[in-house]
Structure 1
Amino acid sequence: MTDNITHTPTDDLTTVLDVVGDLVAAVRNDQWDSTTPCPEWSVRELVNHMVIGNRLFAGILRGEAAVAPGALDPKARDALGTDPVAAYRDAAKDLLAAFGQPGVLDRMFQVPVGLVPGIAALHLRAVEDLVHGWDLARATGQELEIDDEIVERELEFTRAKLADVPPDRSPFAPARRISDDATPLDRLAALLGRVAGPVH
């Protein structure tokens, strides 16, 4: 039976944020200082980076914030406070509300990688939280369980747009080789510089 349900990019972003929010909620108290696949960041700094990023984009979409040097540096300020789970979920909710504004997907916005339409900014946030969700899962011994079709759509977007991002503005490391039969999530992680494969 064919699935006739239409999935919008906003639906995909909502799912990504929900799934990553569940990962954040499952981080144990003794894991917040653990290392992550982003070697310069601990688990807490990684989650802080995602929250800062979601807050920044929400502000940009509302015309209330602008990109500044070091704006996404999780060591520069703490956006998590005493409740990282609530901080992540609140930022996700705020981001989705900002993307829900009339006409926002068609307007142009200055984001950290350059000037992009709102729809591209939405995909950038989905990719960012997917890959950093992958980082978080690896760091905390969890699995990021998400529909492969969602990941495939973000893979397609990333392959199409990655070449347009100036090297000095790319938030990710150079792509790494990976088997063609790897999962879509591992292929996305490898495309954005992760060493993807079985965890030993």
Structure 2
Amino acid sequence: MTGHPEPSPLKDLAAVLGAVHELVAAVGREDWSAPTPCPQWSVHDLVNHMVLGNRLFAGILRDRAAVTPGALDPTAADALGDDPAGAYRSAAEDLLAAFRRPGVLERVFRVPVGPVPGLAAVHLRAVEDLVHGWDLARATGRRARFPDDVVERQMGFARAKLADVPPDRSPFAPPQPAADHAPPLDRLAALLGRSVAATR
């Protein structure tokens, strides 16, 4: 025992969302149409998908939204407008506020992968934005500034829980190989279907 409190999943999520916001804010005008590791998605599509996801979860946590077909399809609706970084920051802040409401972490919510406790939903959003943050960093040639300890904790959740998600509901592809000495973010990306070795 070290006497230090365990970092809360919400602190981890806040750190992830803050680092992704930095990446989004750094996207140049010429980068928005660039391809990403997500097949058929441009950088604009990818960031739009993340904003739609954070808005959907915030709505679900407040009992104001439900999962519908195509709800996370970035080609179906534009959530970015003229200020993508502002749209991402606003959605992230709203999501964190929704998670911080009393009792939310103990309740069960129906999210795209199925019914989960609020605490698991925190981890799902963190893992989602970590991996899509990796996608965005690769697409724009920038470095994602995620703390390694945060990535390691979310990787532990992904290994333990995402294997239980039915294949037709999984938001990720089958695991790909990664070197044991690869950075934590690369290992997480590979665990969730990214071809890490091919892009190094």
TM interval, short-chain normalised: over 0.9
Q: Does residue 59 in structure 1 map to residue 97 in structure 2?
A: no
Give the RMSD, CA atoms, in angstroms: 1.2
Q: Does residue 134 in structure 1 map to residue 134 in structure 2?
A: yes
Secondary structure of the residue that 1:116 maps to in structure 2?
A: strand
The corresponding residue for 2:94 is: 94
Secondary structure of the residue that 1:115 maps to in structure 2?
A: strand
Secondary structure of the residue that 2:55 maps to in structure 1?
A: helix
Output the TM-score relative to the length of structure 1: 0.97
The corresponding residue for 2:152 is: 152
* Superposed displacement of residue 199, structure 1: 4.5
Secondary structure of the residue that 1:169 maps to in structure 2?
A: coil
Measured in 1, the distance between the counterparts of 2:156 and 2:17 equals: 19
The corresponding residue for 1:79 is: 79
Cα displacement string for residues 130-161 of structure 1 (whole angstroms, at most 9, x for unaligned residues): 00000000000000112111000000000001
Secondary structure of the residue that 1:195 maps to in structure 2?
A: coil
Query: Identity over aligned residues, as a percent?
Result: 66
* Structure 2 portions without partners, runs of 5+: none
Secondary structure of the residue that 1:168 maps to in structure 2?
A: coil
Secondary structure of the residue that 1:167 maps to in structure 2?
A: coil
Measured in 2, the distance between the counterparts of 1:172 and 1:72 equals: 14
* Superposed displacement of residue 4, structure 1: 2.5
The corresponding residue for 2:28 is: 28
Measured in 2, the distance between the counterparts of 1:112 and 1:141 equals: 30
Measured in 2, the distance between the counterparts of 1:110 and 1:118 equals: 10
Measured in 2, the distance between the counterparts of 1:140 and 1:181 equals: 24
Secondary structure of the residue that 1:93 maps to in structure 2?
A: helix
* Superposed displacement of residue 198, structure 1: 7.5
* Structure 1 portions without partners, runs of 5+: none
Measured in 2, the distance between the counterparts of 1:13 and 1:148 equals: 13
Output the TM-score relative to the length of structure 2: 0.97
What amino acid is the match of 1:48? N
Secondary structure of the residue that 2:171 maps to in structure 1?
A: coil
Measured in 2, the distance between the counterparts of 1:20 and 1:163 equals: 25
Q: After the TM superposition, which of the residue ranges 188-197 and 13-22 deviates more from structure 2?
A: 188-197
What amino acid is the match of 2:99? F
Measured in 2, the distance between the counterparts of 1:18 and 1:198 equals: 28
Runs of 4+ with >6 A deviation: none
* Superposed displacement of residue 6, structure 1: 3.4
* Superposed displacement of residue 162, structure 1: 1.4
Cα displacement string for residues 112-138 of structure 1 (whole angstroms, at most 9, x for unaligned residues): 000000000000000000000000000
- The aligned length equals 199
Cα displacement string for residues 20-74 of structure 1 (whole angstroms, at most 9, x for unaligned residues): 0000000000000000000210000000000000000000000000000111000
